[in-house]
Structures are given as structure tokens and as C-alpha cells.
Amino acid sequence: MFGNVKAERAAVEMTYTDTCDIIRNVEKEVDFINRHINEAVYKNIPCALVMGKSPTEATDTAMSLS
């Protein structure tokens, strides 16, 4: 299985039991006033939530979503 990217991806995606929304803070004009609001960039993205004691570190993949 190692070396077969499609098979590895499929195996990882089988662990996705949750969904998430990617939200970005953007500046928009509301009633003639510029305001910062949260805007959904992506919705209902399959994911697996993993909780642990170590701090989250940004990875190349996470950074590429910006």
C-alpha cells in the first residue's frame, strides 16, 4: 500500500467522521461602513478531528489553504 498515493489517500479519508467550515475574516462594506466580518470560504469539508496535548503546528498543506 505504501507508495500508492490513491490507496493511501483513500485509507486516510476513511477516518474522516466530521466536517468543518473554513472561515476567513474579511473587510466588507456594510451600511457604508467598512467592517471586518467572518466569511465562509469552504463549507462541509470532510475531516477527522484529533485532540491531543501537543500544540497544533502549521503544515505546508494547512498553509496552502490560505
> Average pLDDT, whole number, for the chain?
81
Whether residue 66 is predicted with pLDDT greater than 50 in this model: the reply is: no
Q: State pTM to two decimals.
A: 0.51
Beta strands 33-47; 18-30: pairing state: antiparallel
Could you tell me which residue, 44 or 30, shows the higher pLDDT? 44
pLDDT tens sequence across 32-54: 999 999 999 999 999 887 776 65
Whether residue 12 is predicted with pLDDT greater than 70 in this model: the reply is: yes
CB 44 within 8 Å of CB 64: no
Q: Which pLDDT band, with edges at 50, 70 and 90, does 22 fall under? A: very high
Q: Where are the domains of the chain?
A: 5-51
Q: Classify residue 18 by burial, with Cβ atoms within 10 Å: 0-12, 13-18, 19+.
A: exposed
- Locate 6 and state its grid cell: 490513491
